[in-house]
Amino acid sequence: MGYTELSHLEGREPVVARIYERLICELQKFGPIKTEPKKTSIHLSNRFGFAGVYTRKEYINLEVHLNYKLTGKRVSKAEQASANRFHHTIKLMSPDDIDDELLSWLKQAYDLKK
């Protein structure tokens, strides 16, 4: 079965689609992005994967890939994926959660070289 962005939004509360649309809209301001729907998530990449979207019934878990460990109350999980890559999970409950702080982290992730 092929997975689509739409299939990740099916059966979710309407707020999930609004969060996702705002996220993609903001990310497109950085430059070209590729959305790659997989079984459990939507991978976001430019040259490399820089983030992942995990839709839930009423929110989105956004995974941001950076070369350092973020700390802060917004980060619900941080794990070291490789020698110089950390994956951070940030829960997005509303489109307003896509703020300057989050976008600065995403921009750093977007700009990372391999």
Domain count, the chain: 1
What's the residue count for the chain? 114
Residue of 84, 5, 17, 72 whose CA lies nearest to 44: 5
CATH (domain of 50): 3.30.1460
Whether residue 1 is predicted with pLDDT greater than 80 in this model: the reply is no
Whether residue 107 is predicted with pLDDT greater than 70 in this model: the reply is yes
Whole-number pLDDT of residue 47? 87
pLDDT digits (tens, 9 = 90+) for 28-77: 999 999 999 999 999 999 989 999 999 999 999 999 999 999 988 999 99
Containing structural domain, residue 29 = 5-111
What is d(CA 30, CA 85) in angstroms, rounded to the nearest whole number? 21
Whole-number pLDDT of residue 109? 97
Mean pLDDT score across all residues of the chain: 95
